[in-house]
Structure 1
């Protein structure tokens, strides 16, 4: 189930890990986020933002083991300036995703039901093919409608950021394990040698 929430946090150490999907790693309030998705304008804003000031960040967690998405950012001290992730609520992407979902559902219906339906009708394929066409069109249209409804719902949520609840980033981040500094290791080794 997708989750929509906001939190006041400091985002640092942004590094791009996937150039095709705009996925990044980052440190959020001292914890590590392995997969964080955002547009380039949000990335450039967070890279140039005041490192010590907290920004209000709205997150969209789509579920299904997908990357956590930064939906919007309000810089510290700027109450009326909210930078939104336009890729989430883009009408073009919404239409393309809807058509793609419908076509894939139509094709999957043909691929999965062709053998059972045609074997059920046996040698009389003239009756089986229209049934298969009707089923595949209905399933494809139904999946496209559900996909369009979902993306329309997400688009409406994006326009109502003030209604999003406050949330916790702990399930989406990992505690950072401090790595001992090389100088500390050398000093500890030297101290051990002196003791011996």
Structure 2
């Protein structure tokens, strides 16, 4: 389940890994001094954090799923109060509808040969059609809810990015377990 939240933090050492699509760059960065291995960010915000936005406190709106999935940056608010966000437009709703329709057609095609196992041969077409329609409706509603949640990012709760990032171990930093007090051959 994705988490939608904002956090006041700094982004430093941002490095481009790849271009996901025309509007998204995948990068690595330090967020509040912790390593984020994958950040999905717009090219404009990537350039901003490479330049004058580097190492400056911002309010940033994130979507996270897990440490292995990319952290998505939705919007950034600078010290002057200006907000740069990814545009949420009607084409996102069309994309949600088309992807839902495509996935439903795939589910229908996969389920159609197996329908005789569950229903009478006469009801096979209508049962498979209902399954495809229910999958389409579920995916379309879910996609529309996510898109509307993203467009209302200002109402998201405050959260911590630390759960989605890893601590950077500094050179000569002591481990959490201090082995020096055990009195071994290393301690004279």
Shift of 1:32: 0.4
The equivalent position to 1:69 in structure 2, one of 50, 69, 72, is 72
Mapped partners of 1:105, 1:70: distance in 2:
32
Secondary structure of 1:19 counterpart: strand
Structure 2 partner of 1:3: 3
Paired residue total: 168
Structure 1 partner of 2:176: none
The equivalent position to 2:147 in structure 1, one of 155, 164, 168, is 155
Q: Is the 8 A contact 1:25 1:33 kept in 2?
A: yes
Shift of 1:120: 7.1
Q: Is the 8 A contact 1:15 1:24 kept in 2?
A: yes
Counterparts of residues 1-196 of structure 1 (less than 5 Å)? 1-20=1-20, 22-62=25-65, 66-75=69-78, 77-79=79-81, 81-86=82-87, 90-110=92-112, 114-115=113-114, 117-118=115-116, 128=121, 130-179=122-171
Change (3 A) 1:120 1:109: closer
Mapped partners of 1:106, 1:65: distance in 2:
31
> Larger Cα Rg: Structure 1 or Structure 2?
1
Structure 2 partner of 1:190: none
1:56-114 CA-to-partner distances (Å, cap 9, x unmatched) read 10001246953221111112x222x211123798334323332233223223323xxx2
With structure 2 as the length reference, what TM-score do the two structures score? 0.75
Structure 2 partner of 1:186: none
Q: Which runs of 4+ in 1 moved over 6 A?
A: none
Mapped partners of 2:69, 2:99: distance in 1:
16
Secondary structure of 1:86 counterpart: coil
Gap runs ≥5 in structure 1: 122-126, 181-196
Mapped partners of 1:163, 1:107: distance in 2:
40
Shift of 1:136: 2.4
With structure 1 as the length reference, what TM-score do the two structures score? 0.72
How large is the RMSD of aligned CA atoms in angstroms? Answer: 2.7
Mapped partners of 2:154, 2:46: distance in 1:
22
